[in-house]
Structures are given as C-alpha cells and as structure tokens.
Structure 1
Amino acid sequence: MTLPECSRITGGPTDVAYQAKILDKYEIQYFRCRETGFIQTETPYWLDEAYRDAITAQDSGLLQRCITYAEIMALLIKANFQPQERYLDFGGGYGVFTRLMRDRGLNYFHCDPHCQNLFAKEFEVQVEEPGKYTLVTAFEVFEHLVDPAKQLKQLLELADTVVFSTLIVPEPPPKDVDEWWYFLPQTGQHVSLYTVKALDHLASSHGATLYTNGKNLHCISRRPINFSIAGDNLWAKLRRRLHRVLSDR
C-alpha cells in the first residue's frame, strides 16, 4: 500500500480517499488534500502508457466542447480584451479551438507538444517567451497535470490571465470512484481533480484571483476580469441554441 503523499496543491498532508484500477491494469490509490479537498492519484508511473494516444476514444465530446468554448471565449475576450492582442491555446489537441477562434478574427495561436496539430498548423508556436500573450486558454488540461502549481506558474509567465475548464469535485465528494465519471481510471490520464477551494489556493499562491462559475469553467488572473458572461444564463442560452440546431436536422 502506498503511503499518503503531500498535496500537490498545498504541500500539506493528504489522506487515502479511493482505490481504483488504472488502465484496467494497475491498482492505485487516490489521496485527498486535507486543507482543500483536492484529489490526486499516487505518483503516476503509468503516463507513458496512458498517452500512447494523446486524445482517448472516450473523449467523444471534443468537437462540441470546442464549439461551445469558442462561443464563450469570444464573449469573454470582447468584454475584457482587444481582438488584435495575442492569445494562446495551451494543450489544444488537434488545433480545432484555435482554428475556430481565428475564423472569428481573433489573433489566436496553438501549442500542444503531445498531439498532432491538424487544423491550425500555420499558427503553431512554442511557449518559451514569457509575457508574449494577453491570455492563455487550457481546456480539459488541468486534470491531466501532475504538478498543477508548477504548470500554472509557467502559464502565468506567458500571460497574466489563464482561462481553463475542468469539472469541480461534487459536494459531498463521491464515496467511490465509480460514482463520478470524471475520474476516468480506464484512460489513466486524469490525475488531478479540483475543488473550488483548491483552485482558489492555486490562484492566491501565485498572486492572482480566481473567477469561476463553480462548475466547469474557471479563470485565474492578475488583472480584474468580467467573468459574469460565463455564468448559468450563458450556458442555458448555448444549450437552447444547440437544441434548436439538432432539432432542425
């Protein structure tokens, strides 16, 4: 049995929270941070195997997610920034989101060293140069991070605002891994699962403020952000729009 590890958010103590079979192969433990409720796997020695395919077959919602977040980010950028400023999609997979944003007239670039860029090849960049972007997006990335604090530090060196998606751990927390689909132990890729308290700790420890809809979309920024556009009213509007599109088919 693996001994409890230090929290990758606070550095403080954790408790054993769950056990599961990762990749239908390895029996592993999950630990919960005592201070924030953040959930992490034991040190993920299986990642090379898990990322033989960067995007798993279970991610059937990838395209619709890109379309939805393109709608939301266009509104967020309009409310807070200028379209000619430079934007970066980090961990952008096939480049779908970057292509959608550029088609909207936004100066977006793509970075993902682990996945083939199919749709934004001419806008692929490396991210070594700090302060080069106004905003970084990272959709469905944070749950994959082995060291979230270190990665957030690197992203905030690129831009003073990071907008990202990841599902918040339900309250009360699941009693078992099987009670919440987002654990996804069969893929082996989700190694960090967040509470709002954990995200707030991440933000404050980097001199930034957390903005969140409390569910799936979050912003950590060192500047004031109008994030109200990402609230429940917008999601309801997008769901109605999607329903109309599907009904017309």
Structure 2
Amino acid sequence: MICKVCNQKAKQIFTAQILNKYDIKYFHCENCGFIQTEEPYWLNEAYAESINISDTGYMQRNLILSQKLTILLALFFDKNKVFLDYAGGYGVFVRMMRDIGFDFYWDDKYTANLFARGFEYNKQPIEAITTFESFEHFVNPLEEIEKMLMFSKNIIFSTELLPQPIPDPEAWWYYGLDYGQHISFYSFKTFQFIAKKYNLNYANLGCLHLLTEQKVSNLKLKILKFSKFGLHKFLQKQFKSKTWEDYLKMSTRK
C-alpha cells in the first residue's frame, strides 16, 4: 500500500478487528512514520453517530483546551482577529471561546452545531484554525491539511502521537477499535515531514500540536504549562465576553 502522507511504500504490520466484526489491515511507512488502515470501507457504519458513545472525555477535553488556547492565542497570535474551529463537533469549544471573548466560528460537515448556532464559518479571513481530535479521522490527511491551509497558515490541533515502539492493537486505546473512526496515526517524524512539505514550522506540546508560519520557540511554548496555575484566568481579564453580545445578536435575528 502507498503511504497517504509521503507517497512511499507502506508495509503491513498487523491486522486488528474493528467494530467487533471487520478484520482490518494496518500499514506503516518507515519513511515518514505514518500508520494508516486499509481503505476504510466501514466508515458509514462507524459514523452512524459522529461523536462516539465511548468519548466520555468530550466535555473535559473542551474545558482544558479552552484554558490552554486562551494562553496560546493571547500570547502568540493576534487575539483580536477571527478564529475557526474546523471539524468543530457540537460547537462546545466555539461557545466556550466566545464566552471568554475570542471571535471564534464553527465548521463541521458531519456533526450538528448545537451550541454555536449562528456562528457558522462564512468565509471571514482567519488568523488561526483549531481542530481537535480530527487528524486521526482523516481518510486523506494531506487533502484535509491543504483545505485548512487555504484559510490560514496557522493550524493548532490535537491528536495522540504514536508511541515507540509501535504498540500492538490491544495495547493502545487510541486505535479506537470499538468504534472504528480512527484510521490515521502520526509520529513526530510524520509531522516534521508535513511541516517541511508545506514550508511550515512544527511544534509538539504533548497531545497538542502546532503547524505555523512563524516559528514559536519551545521555551515560550512551555508557558502553556502555567494553565495549571491559573494563567488563563489572568489573561481572560483582558477580554470582554461575547455571551451577552451574542445573545442580543441572535435574539434579534430573523
């Protein structure tokens, strides 16, 4: 099988059962470190519900990300510009960020916008894109990345990096075998390859990642750790929440 990231030959490394019924082949590319499944013919079934029932960390993840992104966007981007949450799910993150005071908008082809209705993306110029727990869902990663780069050269995203050595199917929860939506898995080497291909800079913050036009020093990025000590609360004082403003806008909308 040909690697969907670097176009080199990928070698089958194991077979795993997805959705308790389909025996699926997984392929590893030694050139860029990417792992992909065989062509995912089961996705219509896997996406009967776009947010899987076992994602019990959905709300907690959005809360933690809103704290970290408050620090990141306030310190390293133009906080007064427009931001887009790509593959934004139910709109929880967009609503949280607007409640803080960031001008965030929502876009998702597969999930109903429940919490950020009225703030769907409408071709505004974008300072940076956020996209959380989506890279592992991409059937064709480069196509999705290129779509995002049409909006902004700054992409902030989350996904779990492949452990080393590569774990067996039963040894790593992130393969997501029970719900079958995770089909693409990335190593540090993979994101370095992607960054070089698109003339971007890559920075790793654990499960949070940056692909950006301008290089952000690792020393400065360590400040994100201070979210544990309430730095986000201090920075939020610089903003005016959009909650009431959004209410007025939506209540008079026809």
TM-score of the pair, normalised by structure 2: 0.86
Task: Report the 3-state secondary structure (helix = DSSP H, G, I; strand = E; otherwise coil) of the residue aligned with 2:118.
Answer: helix
Alignment-derived partner of residue 195 in structure 2: 203
Question: Cα offset for 1:171?
Answer: 1.2
The amino acid across from 2:201 in the alignment is: T
State which drifts further: 131-140 or 65-74: 131-140
| 1:190 to 2:182 alignment | yes
Alignment-derived partner of residue 154 in structure 1: 147
| 1:167-182 alignment, distance < 5 Å | 167-174=160-167, 176-182=168-174
| 1:70 to 2:66 alignment | yes
Change (3 A) 1:163 1:233: closer
Question: Cα offset for 1:16?
Answer: 0.7
CA contact (8 A) 1:83 1:106 kept: yes
Aligned length: 231
| 1:22 to 2:13 alignment | no
Query: Which runs of 5 or more structure 1 residues have no equivalent in the other structure?
Result: 242-249
Question: Cα offset for 1:230?
Answer: 5.0
Question: Cα offset for 1:59?
Answer: 0.5
Alignment-derived partner of residue 246 in structure 2: none
Question: Cα offset for 1:236?
Answer: 8.0
| 1:128-143 alignment, distance < 5 Å | 129=123, 132-143=125-136
**C-alpha distance in structure 2 between counterparts of 1:227 and 1:148, whole Å:** 26
Alignment-derived partner of residue 210 in structure 2: 219
**C-alpha distance in structure 2 between counterparts of 1:65 and 1:20, whole Å:** 27
| 1:31 to 2:27 alignment | yes
| 1:166 to 2:175 alignment | no
Question: Cα offset for 1:160?
Answer: 1.2
Task: Report the 3-state secondary structure (helix = DSSP H, G, I; strand = E; otherwise coil) of the residue aligned with 2:156.
Answer: strand
Alignment-derived partner of residue 56 in structure 1: 52
CA contact (8 A) 1:99 1:120 kept: yes
1:208-241 CA-to-partner distances (Å, cap 9, x unmatched) read: 111112x3110001223356565497178279x9
1:43-78 CA-to-partner distances (Å, cap 9, x unmatched) read: 101111111100001110010100111011110111
Question: Cα offset for 1:193?
Answer: 0.5
Query: Which runs of 5 or more structure 2 residues have no equivalent in the other structure?
Result: 233-254
Change (3 A) 1:202 1:100: same
The amino acid across from 1:73 in the alignment is: L
Task: Report the 3-state secondary structure (helix = DSSP H, G, I; strand = E; otherwise coil) of the residue aligned with 1:158.
Answer: coil
Identity of aligned residues (%): 34
Change (3 A) 1:196 1:121: same
**C-alpha distance in structure 1 between counterparts of 2:219 and 2:130, whole Å:** 17
**C-alpha distance in structure 1 between counterparts of 2:221 and 2:17, whole Å:** 35
Match of 2:111 among 102, 109, 115: 115
**C-alpha distance in structure 2 between counterparts of 1:114 and 1:76, whole Å:** 28
**C-alpha distance in structure 1 between counterparts of 2:227 and 2:62, whole Å:** 17
CA contact (8 A) 1:80 1:226 kept: no
Task: Report the 3-state secondary structure (helix = DSSP H, G, I; strand = E; otherwise coil) of the residue aligned with 1:67.
Answer: helix
**C-alpha distance in structure 1 between counterparts of 2:220 and 2:177, whole Å:** 33
TM-score of the pair, normalised by structure 1: 0.87
**C-alpha distance in structure 2 between counterparts of 1:147 and 1:158, whole Å:** 18
**C-alpha distance in structure 2 between counterparts of 1:18 and 1:183, whole Å:** 12
The amino acid across from 1:216 in the alignment is: C
**C-alpha distance in structure 2 between counterparts of 1:209 and 1:200, whole Å:** 8
**C-alpha distance in structure 1 between counterparts of 2:19 and 2:82, whole Å:** 38
The amino acid across from 1:185 in the alignment is: L
Match of 1:85 among 81, 84, 102: 81
**C-alpha distance in structure 2 between counterparts of 1:221 and 1:233, whole Å:** 17
